[in-house]
Amino acid sequence: MMPDHASIHRLLATAPVAVFGAGVSGRGVLELLDRLGARGVVFDEKAPGKDGVNNFTPDQARLHPLVVYSPGFPPGHPWLVRAREAGAVCLGELDFAALFWRGRIIAITGTNGKTTLTEFLTHALRSVGRDAHATGNVGDPFSRLAAAGLADPAGMSGAVAVCEVSSFQAETLQHLRPDALLWTNFAEDHLERHPGMAAYFAAKWKLVTLTAPSSVLVGTSVARFAAGSAPGTLPDESIVFSEVKTPDPRLVGTVFATQPQRENFLLAAAWWRRTGLSDDALVAAAKSFRLGRHRLARVAEIDGVTWWNDSKATNFHAVEAAVAGFAAPVLLIVGGKSKGGDLAGFVRRLAPGVRRLFLIGETGPLLAAACTAAGIDHVACPGLAGAVHEATVSARPGEHVLLSPGFASFDQFRNYEDRGNQFESLVNNLGVSSTLR
């Protein structure tokens, strides 16, 4: 039986909570526990600590009847299995925070665009005087926001949590009840964790089951996959035809003027209209909105070559969308830590939009084999600095060099921000060298 709010409160008073993960979400859980007058003990496999903090033993499992875990812990992780065998209640960080949040929740998910849509909707709501907060898989963790709400219940009584939800967070949800769900799109991703596309879709579909049908909005690709594979049905009024390419003159000069960002605006607009807010206000918000860093951003033009940073592109769909946005074939820096999927198919789809590939990271050798099979010009590079050097040698005036890796960053970098920052530094140093010649 799913634990209710009262039973969770009883568990909080019984013993310290085991918090799995010492990262951002784990620290947020500790803040919420402190606000609740409870105590947490952090367990993290990478922690150098003592007293078993980097190992959750059977004896420790018996001491912690409540476990709250970060998205990095899959449902079958040995620690979670051990906790459940000991009779513990195990909740993901979003679920735990949801028990103590009294405002509204707009859940945002999708293979691509969910961070931008979360940030844009937060920006748009604030522009019309709403108390909106980006949270979940972006911004502050939901548990930190819930703790702030408990600290100031009157001040945050009308607050809106615009909550980005990844498949890792969605798959085990029990308590989160979104007031609305916006699901941007669906494409190949995270197959290193989910055993196939159907399982990946089912993880995100969990959000559909937790949201009232009249409050669900999905993009075209989601509806297309759902038609043959969904464990339920989507009402027609939930489907937003988000792949429309007809220009909207109101959006000229904004990041939403063309795909793939146009899709985000169409999802936001569909929800905005249902909420009874002004179209003019949303368009005004689009004009003042700025993308976060590492999202297909122009870095510099050096000796007639333009360099672009799209380090946040960590899956095939994102890279293909970025490449498709250029009028002529690009020089593409691609590669990183594998997330599964049809790599050969990805390379074949890239072929029309690229002149040469510069391959980096763990997937470099596999990409090289796929490029050879597809007849695509490519250069294997020892790292990002090598790729920038090779691209400098290859690029001609008027061409574009694009970092859009398509894979996770953790084989060579701390995260995608670190990868993007290093790329920008390398490119800017090229500019310094150019001015000295």
Question: If pLDDT is split at 50, 70 and 90, which confidence band does 436 have?
Answer: very low
CB 29 within 8 A of CB 95: no
What letter would DSSP give residue 237? G
CB 262 within 8 A of CB 288: no
Question: If pLDDT is split at 50, 70 and 90, which confidence band does 45 have?
Answer: confident
CB 371 within 8 A of CB 290: no
CB 197 within 8 A of CB 188: yes
Question: If pLDDT is split at 50, 70 and 90, which confidence band does 256 have?
Answer: very high
pLDDT-wise least confident of 148-162, 170-184, 308-322, 414-428: 148-162
pLDDT of res. 154: 77
CATH topology classification for 14-93? Rossmann fold (3.40.50)
pLDDT of res. 434: 53
d(CA 71, CA 138): 13
Percent of the chain residues past pLDDT 90, beyond the cut: 83
User: pLDDT, tens digit, for every residue of 169-184?
Assistant: 999 999 999 999 999 9
Show me where the domains of the chain are located: 14-93, 100-288, 297-436
User: pLDDT, tens digit, for every residue of 397-417?
Assistant: 999 999 999 999 999 999 999
CB 113 within 8 A of CB 91: no
Q: Domain 100-288: what homologous superfamily?
A: Mur-like, catalytic domain (3.40.1190.10)
CB 25 within 8 A of CB 71: yes
Over the chain, what is the mean pLDDT? 92
**Higher pLDDT among residues 9 and 27, named by residue:** 27
C-beta atoms surrounding 212 within 10 Å: 11
Above 60 in pLDDT, residue 117?
Answer: yes
Helix (H), strand (E) at residue 428 = helix 416-436
**Coil, helix or strand at residue 103:** coil
Question: If pLDDT is split at 50, 70 and 90, which confidence band does 53 have?
Answer: low
Side-chain-facing half-sphere of 355: CA atoms under 13 Å: 14
d(CA 288, CA 265): 13
Give the position of tokens 């989910």: 194
Domain 297-436: top CATH class: alpha beta
pLDDT of res. 49: 54
Give the position of tokens 């989507």: 234
